Amino acid sequence: MSPQPVAPHTVPPEGLFGPASVSWRVHSDPVMGVAGLRALLLQALHPLAMAGVAEHSAYREDPWGRLYRTAFFIGAVTYGTGEEVREAVDRVRKVHRHVRGTDPATGLPYRADDPELLTWVHCTEVGSFLEVCRSAGLRLTDAEADAYLGEQARVARLVGVPARHPLPRTAEQLDAYFRQVRGDLLLTPAAREAARFALAPPFPAWVRYATPARPAWAGLTGLAFALLPDWARRMYGLPGWRATGIVARAQVRALRTALLALPRATREGPHLREARRRLEAPAQVPAEAPAGS
């Protein structure tokens, strides 16, 4: 049986967030692509989350489609109307309903709608978005970072984390969560394969030979690896030196500076552009009724 659709009253008609939200500021940052890659690399270190991806995702056959769908979901729930938010969430919940099995590495059962796994995916995403964007130069106070986590907790609840299940709502709580969960993490063969695939995904022939996309992508993925926490880099067999993170932060800051020089229309996603148009559109004033009506 499919999960019940998200009720309209749970999402305001105008959507979850607005221009004054911290979520708009973070998710419109030009280094969100690198942050997303970091989140995927971090997610892969949970054996049950990785098993679900390996056994049910088409990332090998359609890597760009998977990335697009992830970016589409983030854009829709951040900038979309209430109806767009509900549609995006309902699609995810429907997919999660069918993702279940047994992890071959640990022998443990998994299901994508497990609150523990939903919390892991949520925390790796919001933690990566915050860490990478702030490292790159996005100015957020500690209070604004906490406000962002509070805002994004609403998305996690909609996707399926029950109200009784604790979610980190401050940076301090998020750090404590990662310390707590580290004992459950493992670099499985599936995670190794996914990491290798992330570095060198398939490109169409014309892209491989006529553009610098392939080395550029490898550079971005390498930067995402370098921006992982020291302990996560060590799990991947990479140097966990603190200097690695320092160099990576300088590199991502330079990347952000270069991307900010591009026209806004080039670096902003379709959901944000549509939200801006929606907000800038003149309000519809109802026509006056004819005299004597």
Whether residue 214 lies inside any domain: the answer is: no
Q: How far apart are CA 221 and CA 242, in angstroms?
A: 19
Q: Which distant-in-sequence residues (6+ apart) come within 8 Å of 275 by Cβ? A: 15, 79, 80
Class of residue 292 by CB neighbours under 10 A (exposed 0-12, middle 13-18, buried 19+): exposed
CA 237 to chain centre: 24
Whether residue 64 lies inside any domain: the answer is: yes
End-to-end CA separation in angstroms for the chain:
52
> Which token pair is 78?
């951040």
Read off the pLDDT of each residue in 134-141 and give the average, rounded to a whole number. 98
The range of the structural domain enclosing residue 37 comes to 8-185
pLDDT digits (tens, 9 = 90+) for 189-228: 999 999 999 999 988 888 888 888 899 999 999 999 999 9
Q: How far apart are CA 86 and CA 71, in angstroms?
A: 16
Whether residue 70 lies inside any domain: the answer is: yes
pLDDT digits (tens, 9 = 90+) for 143-168: 999 999 999 999 999 999 999 999 99
- Tally of domains within the chain: 1
Read off the pLDDT of each residue in 76-94 and give the average, rounded to a whole number. 97
Whether residue 132 lies inside any domain: the answer is: yes
Whether residue 245 lies inside any domain: the answer is: no
Query: Residue 293: which pLDDT band, with cuts at 50, 70 and 90?
Result: very low
* pLDDT recorded at residue 205: 84
Q: What percent of the chain has pLDDT over 90?
A: 78
Element (H, E) at 215: helix 213-226
The answer, yes or no, to whether residue 65 has pLDDT greater than 50, is yes
Whether residue 146 lies inside any domain: the answer is: yes
CA proximity to 78, closest of 133, 7, 29:
29
Whether residue 2 lies inside any domain: the answer is: no
Whether residue 147 lies inside any domain: the answer is: yes
Q: What percent of the chain has pLDDT over 70?
A: 95
Q: How far apart are CA 39 and CA 121, in angstroms?
A: 8
* pLDDT recorded at residue 8: 73
Q: What is the pTM of this model?
A: 0.92
